[in-house]
């Protein structure tokens, strides 16, 4: 997501669509994710992305909050953290149940989140 934010300066919708879209493509190609979806993964992996996901959520949200606070968005810390937690939690939920073909989940998620990003973005 960070690369997408920096690649689409001033355009929250494109940044979010690109970020979620890239995430969906990368996670679908990831061998661990594929083993989970094929039923070959150990139960520990499933727990890691569900009931034991706190370390992943905190690390991912921390890194993403830095992006939202220190990029062109310049969101206040509280808003950057809130947005990052939502984005990471939603993204993680799609690992165990990826988007179906025929739906544009990246665009749908962007449509929901853009108003918040535009509200918290510091414009000069």
Question: Is pLDDT above 70 for 123?
Answer: no
Count, residues in the chain: 124
Tens digits of per-residue pLDDT, 87-103?
Answer: 999 998 888 788 877 67
Alpha-carbon span 85 to 28, nearest angstrom: 21
Q: Rounded to whole angstroms, how far apart are CA atoms 118 and 51?
A: 32
Q: What is the Cα–Cα distance from 92 to 37, expressed in whole angstroms?
A: 14
Distance in angstroms (rounded) separating the CA atoms of residues 82 and 65:
8
pTM exceeds 0.95 for this model: no
Indicate whether 5 pLDDT > 70. Answer: yes
pLDDT tens, residue by residue, 40-86: 766 666 677 667 778 888 999 999 999 999 999 999 999 999 999 99
């Amino acid at each position: 997501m960070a690369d997408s934010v920096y690649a689409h300066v001033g355009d929250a919708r494109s940044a979010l669509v690109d970020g979620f879209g890239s995430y969906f493509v990368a996670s679908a190609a990831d061998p661990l994710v594929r083993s989970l979806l094929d039923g070959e993964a150990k139960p520990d992996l499933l727990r890691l992305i569900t009931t034991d996901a706190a370390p992943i959520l905190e690390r991912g949200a921390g890194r993403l909050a830095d992006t939202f606070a220190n990029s062109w968005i310049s969101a206040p810390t509280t808003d950057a953290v809130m947005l990052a937690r939502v984005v990471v939690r939603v993204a993680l939920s799609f690992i165990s149940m990826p988007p179906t073909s025929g739906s544009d989940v990246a665009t749908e998620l962007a449509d929901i989140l853009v108003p918040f990003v535009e509200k918290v973005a510091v414009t000069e």
